């Protein structure tokens, strides 16, 4: 079978019909990503393939490091290389990524964006660089979104963000058919592991809310005010990334005590070094704050996203010299069930559980998360089916095997037909073919079940499932207005 042809990953005739007749033409609803709002508002045109493809891409940096590439060709540390040299170092790495998802993603993106079928390697790098750069010169962000029929983009934004770029997007008509919405990401507000950074975050939050945060009540008031500000700017999702949810009581008194201890002074230093909060007290603070934030989401009708399981910044030297988000994070093995059950159960007991999506990073937790989602389903006015979702394969699981395992766990313990589908979770505008990749996997799974006699050969029924999971369910679930689509 030819590599990456029109029937790529579609192993049966039924799968091919499901994909080509039902899935391929559906718009993209990318409800969670890390695309920079300033690039969207400014309709950025990328100067070259390095800017569009390698700038800040820790997936590629990890592969390059594993291939023996020096850091100056990745982040630029130790003597920054020029853009083409960095691209060439990646191109020379690509042949070594066979069976890594980067091999598929790289060539799928070259095909879909630039019509380039040649395999990327050291020999083809210059020709591909020149060809892609010529096309990028007339391919601003707006053209990319139109090309891939992107209906919705959900960015990821700190509570103190002024959302100026989102206001700019709402006021202009640069993106004729793509609605862009912020998402509320308050992780740093309840992370007491670095008190200097936390105090700076609290100061910034207070300034944005025009509230001087001197006591715990001020903090809650500032968060509520910023939550409402985000809501007024179209936000309908929050996002929370934790190694695990604390399995401790969410006592307001304990949280207030931890806040007071953390807020003492601005330098956060002692003669023996930086001040620290006891880990047990920090967990109590996080537990209370997550409950508070969940209740804000419920009151506003938002979706509460929980990304759990990453263990971050594992390489101390790299964190010190390169900073966070540079490719040194891993799958964690923290126990997830008790804290997740306590968080969701407390909100559900008080009838304050918002729509929720659960994402796990450790594949050992697939069935735990899929089963946990089933514990908190609820029907009622304004609630879509599948109130609590088992979310798509994420980060290290955002690949063929990981997504297949997620779909199987969801299908076995929940309702695939109500799934809100794929997201890119990406910082790159060249990542939209990941939706195609997911849709091909979905169609292949269903097609094989038909061929095995495990599902009826009813293309209309299965085609509706494919279209719902690809797009329609997300439209109904999130309730965010589409743009320019009747």
- Average model confidence (pLDDT) across the chain: 95
pLDDT tens for each residue of 226-255: 999 999 999 999 999 999 999 999 899 999
Name the residue with higher pLDDT: 366 or 483.
366
pLDDT class of 269 with cuts at 50, 70, 90: low
Q: What is the mean pLDDT of the segment spanning 290-316?
A: 97
Residue 464 has pLDDT above 80, yes or no: yes
With 70 as the cut, is the pLDDT of residue 391 above it? yes
Specify whether the CB–CB gap between 211 and 311 falls below 8 A: no
Most distant CA pair in the chain: distance in Å? 73
* pTM metric for this prediction: 0.96
- Kindly report which listed range (38-52, 172-186, 270-284, 455-469) carries the lowest average pLDDT score: 270-284
Only one residue has tokens 């390169």, namely 322
pLDDT band at 80 (very low <50, low <70, confident <90, very high): confident
Nearest in space to 208 (alpha carbons), one of 188, 196, 223: 223
pLDDT at 69 over 90: yes
DSSP summary character for residue 391: P
Does the pLDDT of residue 275 top 90, yes or no?
no
End-to-end CA distance of the chain: 41
Does the pLDDT of residue 268 top 90, yes or no? no
Q: What is the pLDDT of residue 266?
A: 46
Query: Taking residues 218-226, what's their average pLDDT?
Result: 98
| Mean pLDDT in residue range 169-177 | 87
In a 10 Å sphere around its CB, with 0-12 CB exposed, 13-18 middle and 19+ buried, how is residue 271 labelled? exposed
- Residue 286 pLDDT more than 70? yes
pLDDT for the residue numbered 274? 57
How would you list the strands of the sheet with 355-360, edge to edge?
237-242, 303-308, 355-360, 388-390
* Alpha-carbon span 269 to 267, nearest angstrom: 5
Q: Does the CA dihedral 316-321-323-324 come out positive or negative?
A: negative
- How high is the pLDDT of residue 365? 98
- Please give the share of the chain, as a percent, with pLDDT higher than 70: 98
Non-local (6+) Cβ contacts of 204 within 8 A are: 158, 160
DSSP letter at 392 equals P
| Whether the predicted pLDDT of 271 surpasses 60 | no
Nearest C-alpha neighbor of 260 from the set 283, 296, 285, 223? 285
Nearest Cα to 178, choosing from 33, 27, 42, 46?
Answer: 27
pLDDT in tens, 87-137: 999 999 999 999 999 999 999 999 999 999 999 999 999 999 999 999 999
- Confidence bin at 172 (pLDDT 50/70/90): confident
Instruction: Give the list of residues 6+ apart from residue 315 with CB closer than 8 angstroms, or none.
Output: 328
Residues 6+ apart with CB under 8 A from 280: 248
174-204 pLDDT, tens digit per residue, is 898 999 999 999 999 999 999 999 999 999 9
Long-range contacts of 167-176 (CB under 8 A, 24+ apart): 167/233, 168/41, 169/37, 169/40, 169/41, 170/233, 170/234, 172/41, 174/41, 174/43, 174/142, 175/40, 175/43, 175/142, 175/145, 175/483, 176/142, 176/146, 176/483, 176/484
């Amino acid at each position: 079978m030819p590599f990456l042809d029109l029937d790529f990953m579609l192993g049966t005739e039924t799968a091919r019909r499901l994909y080509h007749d039902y899935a391929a033409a559906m718009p993209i609803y990318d409800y969670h990503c890390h695309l920079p709002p300033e690039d969207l508002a400014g309709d950025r045109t990328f100067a070259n393939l390095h800017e569009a493809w390698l700038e800040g891409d820790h997936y590629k940096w990890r592969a390059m490091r594993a291939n023996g590439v020096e850091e100056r060709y990745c982040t630029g540390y130790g003597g920054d290389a020029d853009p083409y040299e960095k691209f060439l170092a990646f191109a020379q790495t690509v042949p070594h990524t066979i069976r890594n998802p980067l091999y598929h993603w790289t060539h799928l993106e070259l095909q879909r964006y630039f019509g380039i079928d040649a395999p990327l390697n050291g020999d083809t790098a210059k020709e591909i660089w020149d060809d892609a750069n010529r096309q990028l010169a007339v391919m601003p962000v707006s053209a990319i979104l139109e090309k891939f029929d992107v209906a919705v983009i959900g960015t990821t934004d700190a509570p103190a963000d002024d959302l100026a770029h989102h206001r700019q997007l709402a006021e202009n008509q640069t993106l004729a058919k793509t609605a862009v919405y912020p998402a509320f990401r308050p992780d740093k507000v309840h992370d007491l592991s670095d008190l200097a950074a936390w105090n700076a975050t609290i100061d910034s939050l207070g300034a944005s809310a025009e509230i001087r945060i001197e006591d715990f009540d001020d903090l809650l008031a500032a968060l509520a005010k910023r939550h409402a500000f985000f809501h007024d700017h179209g936000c309908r999702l929050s996002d929370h990334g934790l190694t695990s949810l604390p399995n401790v009581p969410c006592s307001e008194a304990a949280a207030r005590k931890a806040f007071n201890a953390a807020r003492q002074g601005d330098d956060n230093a002692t003669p023996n070094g930086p001040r620290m909060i006891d880990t047990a007290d920090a967990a109590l603070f996080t537990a209370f704050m997550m409950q508070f934030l969940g209740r804000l989401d419920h009151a506003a009708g938002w979706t509460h996203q929980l990304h759990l399981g990453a263990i971050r910044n594992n390489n101390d030297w790299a964190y010190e010299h390169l900073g966070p988000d540079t490719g040194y994070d891993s799958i964690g093995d923290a126990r997830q069930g008790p804290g997740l059950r306590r968080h969701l159960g407390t909100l559900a007991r008080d009838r304050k559980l918002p729509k929720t999506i659960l994402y796990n990073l450790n594949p050992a937790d697939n069935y735990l998360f899929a089963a946990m989602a089933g514990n908190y389903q609820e029907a009622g006015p304004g609630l879509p089916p599948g109130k609590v979702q088992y979310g798509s394969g994420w980060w290290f699981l955002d690949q063929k095997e990981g997504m297949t395992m997620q779909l199987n766990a969801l299908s076995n313990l929940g309702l695939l037909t109500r799934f809100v589908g794929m997201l890119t979770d990406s910082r790159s505008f060249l990542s939209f073919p990941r939706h195609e990749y997911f849709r091909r996997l979905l169609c292949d799974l269903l097609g094989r079940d038909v061929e095995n006699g495990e599902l009826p050969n009813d293309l209309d029924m299965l085609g509706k499932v494919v279209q719902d999971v690809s797009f329609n369910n997300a439209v109904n679930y999130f309730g965010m207005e589409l743009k320019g689509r009747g």
